[in-house]
């Protein structure tokens, strides 16, 4: 039976490790990553795509800093909006090319500039933890700190700006995306977690200097759209226990309760697999049937149960032999 599938393209589906991240490199990487997605569409599944934007926003901030004093400053919400346009254009063009080359036809694909509602009273707003933008020397960092920015050392590579990462409490454009999906459009939405906005007492919206976690925003959108499955394409084929240790092992299947336990035991790092597991739990506890985590090249095999890790409310965890 055809399903409604939200495909979350992680950073590895846009820029591979070791690449400079040029537009040509990104286009080639995206086109390769979409092969499995195209097959899902050929089978009749209704697909919505989301994507990360870390490298793209970093480049936008670099350009803005180089042009400081010659062009207007770019607040972070506007940077996210720009990255949605740039990356959405690349994904929709590559996807249409893959579909046409695969003899699947020319179904409509559209990118929706998407806003994500956040709570200005969210405690995370007063505790910035998300590094964004370029690396600074210690002297540069001190100058930026004097302007009110929160600055911290990042993995001994230099200093970076820290911004809040509040929880998504709603996707503003969900009704628009739903109409498009029902009309047969393949939609790209909530890029980079969505443009963070807050609602004032009079109902008006305003941008927020923050970054919303893309996995949590993807799960929020999936719930609001009533999607059956989230296919999370990332840098690894499977979720692992004891990652990087001699007793490391892969997981084929994982229940919500097991995922919660392993998360509490520290198996999933906060900056990498942790948010994906948290987002998967959130989705499954609100009616989702399954979450599949795997690499782009294994997307189709994982969807068919031959690769990746499937999180489900009732299945049990088993190590892959």
- Please give the positions annotated as active site: 11-12, 130, 214, 276
Dihedral of the CA atoms 77, 82, 83, 85 (nearest 10)?
130
Distance CA 90, CA 188 (A): 11
- Give the C-alpha separation, 11 to 296, whole Å: 11
The two beta strands, 109-111 and 186-188, are: parallel
Nearest-CA neighbor of 142 among 128, 152, 132? 152
DSSP-assigned states of every residue in 16-47: -TT----HHHHHHHHHHHTHHHHHHHHTT-EE
Tally: H helices and E strands in the chain: 10, 17
Q: Cite the DSSP H helix spans in the chain.
A: 23-33, 35-42, 54-66, 76-101, 138-146, 174-182, 214-225, 256-264, 273-284, 299-303
Please, are residues 224 and 283 in contact by the beta-carbon 8 Å criterion? Answer: no
DSSP H or E segment with residue 7 = strand 4-9
């Amino acid at each position: 039976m055809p399903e409604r599938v939200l495909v979350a393209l992680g950073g590895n589906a846009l820029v591979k490790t070791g690449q400079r991240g040029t537009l040509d490199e990104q286009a080639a990487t995206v086109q390769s990553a979409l092969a499995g997605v195209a097959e899902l569409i050929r089978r009749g599944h209704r697909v919505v795509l989301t994507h990360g934007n870390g490298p793209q926003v970093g480049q936008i901030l670099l350009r803005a800093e180089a042009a400081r004093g010659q062009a207007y400053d770019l607040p972070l919400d506007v940077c996210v909006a720009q990255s949605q346009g740039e990356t959405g254009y690349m994904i929709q063009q590559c996807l249409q090319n893959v579909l046409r080359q695969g003899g699947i036809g020319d179904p409509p694909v559209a990118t929706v500039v998407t806003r994500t509602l956040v709570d200005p009273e969210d405690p995370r707003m007063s505790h910035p933890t998300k590094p964004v933008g370029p690396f600074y020397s210690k002297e540069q960092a001190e100058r930026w700190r004097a302007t009110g920015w929160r600055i911290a050392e990042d993995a001994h590579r230099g200093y970076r700006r820290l911004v809040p990462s509040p929880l998504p409490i709603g996707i503003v454009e969900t009704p628009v995306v739903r109409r498009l999906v029902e009309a047969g459009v393949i939609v790209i939405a909530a890029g980079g977690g969505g443009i963070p906005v807050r609602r004032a007492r009079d109902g008006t919206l305003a941008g927020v200097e923050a970054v919303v976690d893309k996995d949590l925003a993807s799960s929020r959108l999936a719930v609001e759209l009533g999607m059956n499955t989230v296919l999370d394409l990332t840098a690894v084929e499977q979720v692992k226990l004891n990652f990087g240790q001699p007793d490391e092992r892969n997981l084929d299947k994982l229940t919500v309760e097991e995922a919660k336990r392993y998360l509490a035991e520290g198996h999933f790092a906060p900056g990498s697999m942790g948010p994906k597991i948290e987002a998967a739990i959130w989705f499954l506890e609100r009616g989702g049937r399954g979450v599949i985590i795997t690499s782009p090249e294994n997307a189709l095999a994982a969807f068919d149960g031959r690769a990746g890790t499937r999180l489900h409310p009732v299945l049990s965890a088993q190590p892959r032999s």
